[in-house]
Amino acid sequence: MSNKSLNNKFLDSGFGYSTIQRPFSFQKIAPIIQSLNQHAGLAVLDLGCGPGVHADYFTTHNYTGVDLNPAYIESARKNKSGEFIVGDVCNSDSILAERRFDIIISNSIFHHLSDEQVVATLKACQKLLTEAGTFHLVDLYLTERSPSLSNFLARIDRGTYARTFDNLHSIVAPYFSDFTSSTFRLSFAGVKLWNMAYIRGTMGKLHS
């Protein structure tokens, strides 16, 4: 078995993914936490929740996580508080039927999805958000500068659809009625690693 296969097998386990993500978990979710302004009791949907790595930050809310990997969901159900569902985020509106959410989070999943899958996910989220609800997107992006450490890390990621910030922005913008965007860096031991985009806003009328 190749080193890449071993690495993917480790990451596909709840323990492996949680271990790798632990140093970066709060860094990724911090902009979202800050935007909630200490509100409690919100209905939160975490798309691509993994083994519930961010569930602990939403214990004062009604948290639901969805992920395609059954091993992740099994781990989350054993170790985290909240509701965890096995399912495809592109069809989350079918999975969750008539439920509505105040907050929908897409954290580091869009670089695993093709443009068509991203659009399908956004359309599903439009159906699932309450009228005043907000969609929060956090994802890595490629810079124009190449080579760079950030671009290298993005290129070797399991996700094969890393995009530039402008490309990511252009895909998601039509599905928002109002939004803001910003960027930040993930770091470890003082070393700046991935470039991350954060896009937050309310979603517009449904697109056909």
- Residue 28 has which token pair? 């990724």
Of 190, 172, 189, the residue nearest 181 (C-alpha): 172
Q: For residue range 99-149, what is the model confidence (pLDDT) as tens digits? A: 999 999 999 999 999 999 999 999 999 999 999 999 999 999 999 876 688
Rounded CA gap, 164 and 151, in Å? 10
Dig out the tokens for 95 from the structure. 């999975």
Q: Which residue, among 74, 158, 147, 67, has the nearest Cα to 112 in the 3D structure?
A: 158
Q: What is the CATH number of the domain that holds 173?
A: 3.40.50.150
Kindly state whether residue 208 falls inside one of the protein's structural domains: no
* 154 is a domain residue: yes
Q: pTM higher than 0.75, yes or no?
A: yes
Residue 143 falls inside a structural domain: yes
| Residue 142 within any structural domain of the chain | yes
Q: Could you tell me the residue range of the domain that residue 43 belongs to?
A: 3-203
**Is 24 within a domain?**
yes
- The pLDDT tens digits for 9-67 are 656 666 666 677 777 889 999 999 998 877 889 999 999 999 999 999 999 999 999 99
Helix axes 115-128, 165-172, angle to 10 degrees: 50
d(CA 169, CA 183): 12
Overall number of domains in the chain: 1
